[in-house]
Amino acid sequence: MKRLTGKWVWVVIIATVIGILLTINQVFYLRFLGFAPLANEYLYYIIAIFMSISFLILPARKNDTKVRFYDITAFFLTVICALYLGFNAERIILEGWDWVAPVQATIAAIILWILVLEVLRRAGGKILFFICLTISLYPLVAHAIPIYFLQGHSFDFITLANNHLMSTNSVLGIPLSTIGSLVIGFMIFGVILTHTGGGEFFFKLAQSIFGRSRGGEAKVSVAGSAFFGMLSGSAISNTVTTGQLTIPAMKKAGYDPEYAAAIEATSSTGGTITPPIMGSAVFIMASFIGVAYLEIALAAIIPAILFSLLFSYKWTRTQQSEISKVFTSQNYRNYSRHWRMVGCIYLAF
């Protein structure tokens, strides 16, 4: 966000607010002012709003500190192409544009295909970009693959572009549909929790449990990340939020900086498999395999408990380095009051 200045800050803010209101209207079927978009129409609007501002937020090169002309070009192209397809969402379904589409729709599909890969490169890096590029081009040569079980029916380039952007087999598939209908709400909740002191609360809650034990700071990191991961479902936001508290505390307790960072990163990743929220992947799993979300959440309890076996290794490391307790009984009593908030948080679910 540091690269955004002046009017572009307001563009991102306004687009985000519109996207949130659009999501609320769609998820809760509010039909505000009679507006009730079709499922594919809604997803095109989500692309127009959130993917477009990604070009303003994410730089094309790491050393880009300003919004460049090509970022602005990609922003407007995304908005125009996605809105065009959104306005014609009903025709896409009724007239089968995913196979035979007008020239304008095909051009919009090709442009969006390129832009999706570009924003993926900016967000996920070159390796993920080349993997997805290869997979997206695979149908062009599927018939010529020498390995039998990888062979398939091939498409020409135009039909492939139309299928990528106007069918439910690619861009508008289960992942985006799940994000649009479920994950956005939890992402908003996680951001609000982060900016209202949620990380500090769970950090102190973990301190009240493990602060008096030997090697308590490492255990606090795992427990605090698990607590926060239950609600945020994001390893990155988990690390950023709890890490700024746990890493300095572990370093102060005698852990090496690299080891402290590794503990926090691993703990935050494990927090995303801890029910009830977990990561966005669980919602995609529920939609893709047709299993109730509650069943997946219950199944995740076992690996979440197994993840706590990290404690045994930390205990060994603690004994070797003779890292001592980090909190007094007085601090324990002060922090124990945070237990009162746990019931309130889970009542929200």
Q: Tell me, yes or no, whether 213 and 73 share the same domain.
A: no
Kindly state whether residue 159 falls inside one of the protein's structural domains: yes
Q: Tell me, yes or no, whether 163 and 183 share the same domain.
A: no
Residue 329 has pLDDT above 80, yes or no: no
- The predicted pLDDT at position 210 comes to 65
Taking the C-alpha atoms of residue 3 and residue 65, their distance in angstroms, rounded to an integer, is: 5
Kindly state whether residue 50 falls inside one of the protein's structural domains: yes
Q: Tell me, yes or no, whether 155 and 228 share the same domain.
A: no
Taking the C-alpha atoms of residue 68 and residue 56, their distance in angstroms, rounded to an integer, is: 9
Average pLDDT over residues 71-84: 96
Q: Tell me, yes or no, whether 318 and 202 share the same domain.
A: yes
Among 17-31, 50-64, 103-117, 131-145, the range with the most confident prediction by mean pLDDT is: 103-117
Both tokens assigned to 336: 């124990």
Burial (CB count <10 Å: 0-12, 13-18, 19+), residue 25: middle
Q: Tell me, yes or no, whether 168 and 27 share the same domain.
A: yes
Query: Which of 156, 172, 188 delimits the end of a domain?
Result: 172
Kindly state whether residue 2 falls inside one of the protein's structural domains: no
Q: Tell me, yes or no, whether 270 and 339 share the same domain.
A: yes
Average pLDDT over residues 44-53: 95
| C-alpha closest to that of 44 among 79, 12, 96, 91 | 79
Q: Tell me, yes or no, whether 256 and 191 share the same domain.
A: yes
Q: Tell me, yes or no, whether 152 and 190 share the same domain.
A: no
Q: Tell me, yes or no, whether 145 and 106 share the same domain.
A: yes
Taking the C-alpha atoms of residue 84 and residue 94, their distance in angstroms, rounded to an integer, is: 16
Kindly state whether residue 1 falls inside one of the protein's structural domains: no
Residue 292 has pLDDT above 70, yes or no: yes
**Contact between residue 78 and residue 108 where contact means Cβ atoms under 8 Å apart:** no
Residue 344 has pLDDT above 50, yes or no: no
- The predicted pLDDT at position 304 comes to 79
Both tokens assigned to 320: 């070797």
Query: Which of 118, 140, 172 delimits the end of a domain?
Result: 172
Give the range among 141-150, 237-246, 260-269, 332-341 with minimum mean pLDDT.
332-341
Residue 215 has pLDDT above 70, yes or no: no
- The predicted pLDDT at position 279 comes to 67
Q: Tell me, yes or no, whether 296 and 199 share the same domain.
A: yes
Buried b (16+ CB within 10 A) or exposed e, 325-334: ebbeeeeeee
- The predicted pLDDT at position 72 comes to 94
Taking the C-alpha atoms of residue 156 and residue 161, their distance in angstroms, rounded to an integer, is: 9
Average pLDDT over residues 295-299: 84
- The predicted pLDDT at position 318 comes to 54
Percent of the chain residues topping a pLDDT of 90 = 36
Tell me the residue range of the domain where 244 lies.
179-347
Taking the C-alpha atoms of residue 75 and residue 41, their distance in angstroms, rounded to an integer, is: 19
Taking the C-alpha atoms of residue 275 and residue 328, their distance in angstroms, rounded to an integer, is: 31
pLDDT tens per residue, range 235-285: 776 777 777 777 887 787 777 888 888 888 887 777 777 777 676 677 777
Both tokens assigned to 332: 């324990």
- Looking at the structure of the chain, the number of domains it has is 2
Both tokens assigned to 217: 């700071």
Q: Tell me, yes or no, whether 280 and 207 share the same domain.
A: yes
- Whole-prediction pTM: 0.71
Query: Which of 172, 193, 220 delimits the end of a domain?
Result: 172
Kindly state whether residue 150 falls inside one of the protein's structural domains: yes
Band of pLDDT at residue 202, cut at 50, 70 and 90: low
How does the average pLDDT of the chain come out, rounded?
80
Q: Tell me, yes or no, whether 191 and 330 share the same domain.
A: yes
